[in-house]
A and B are shown apart, each in its own frame.
Chain A
């Protein structure tokens, strides 16, 4: 009886863990940039199929010096890029990283990236989970 109860607890815990990690990353792409560009941007769709919020806290990529979470906001016609400490994807919700909105900003590309290249990203969530994502480099992101 005790063993069955423990198994049930473990099963429930595994379900919860699955729910927390239920972030589907779709349509990941990097905008091809002019030669010698110092700054690049990446976009993707974050689809949370789980029943609790997912918080993206960090992104890394071997192709760049570092990766920052940003959001473009246009206030009274003036575009500003606002640094984001994290991006919250609500339960059963979708956050689009897209031009003119949330995006990844990547300074210092290690090499010139052109359409057809692929770039690896590692997304880290607030619960410590990591998700590996491969993004296509596209002229029209």
Chain B
């Protein structure tokens, strides 16, 4: 009898989805408090990650190749999800600067909405940027051979997915693909809703 109950419970528990590109964390990792500012000059904190899904990408506006490519792909993901039936709310997309020294709020307000008008640019001091990036497994640092006035920044190129509990749920490594990210997102969202 007990075995039957255990088996029934095991059968009814949804299986984690098989993702096409992303890596699903075995258990979601809640993010703790941080203080950033969005490209409108408003606070962007842990509260902004709650009650909605969030795609986060860490980059910098002087980055001509990787960052525009990933931001364009996230815009394609957003447009695919806009056409998806039954999706009551689109995920938010946040570009977090790994170069707050040069990436002013004004610069972010021109760079980020260029890719999609709803995208959010965020910057903070070194302490707060590191506080968030370390929790999400993002590495960054000035390239060693850069010129002082025109430096490059090495940075993790992953797209991060946070769930509506502000917890790290999945990571999408490079090279990114809009179709795969969109379908993985829908699978992760369905799984999340099934286990609530």
Contacts and interface: CB of A to CB of B under 8 A. Distances in A.
* Range, interface on chain B: 20 to 34
B63 interface: yes
Most buried by B among A34, A41, A70, A80: A34
Interface residues of A, number: 26
A103 interface: yes
Task: Summarize A's interface: helix, strand, loop or mixed.
Answer: strand
Interface in B45-101: 61-66, 68-69, 72
B185 interface: no
A99 B66 CA distance: 7
Contact of B152 (A40, A78, A81): A81
Nearest to A140: B72
A61 to B, nearest CB: 14
A55 to B, nearest CB: 21
Interface string B145-186: 100001010111110000000000000011100000000000
B65 A74 contact: no
Interface string A80-113: 1101000000000000000110010111000000
A80 B65 CA distance: 10
Nearest to B73: A99
Contacts of A105: 64-65
Interface of B: 61-66, 68-69, 72, 107, 110-111, 114-115, 139-140, 143, 145, 150, 152, 154-158, 173-175
28 contacts: A31-B64, A33-B68, A34-B61, A34-B114, A35-B114, A36-B107, A37-B61, A37-B64, A37-B111, A38-B62, A72-B65, A74-B157, A77-B157, A78-B140, A78-B155, A78-B156, A79-B154, A79-B155, A79-B156, A79-B157, A79-B174, A81-B143, A81-B152, A99-B65, A100-B69, A100-B174, A100-B175, A105-B65
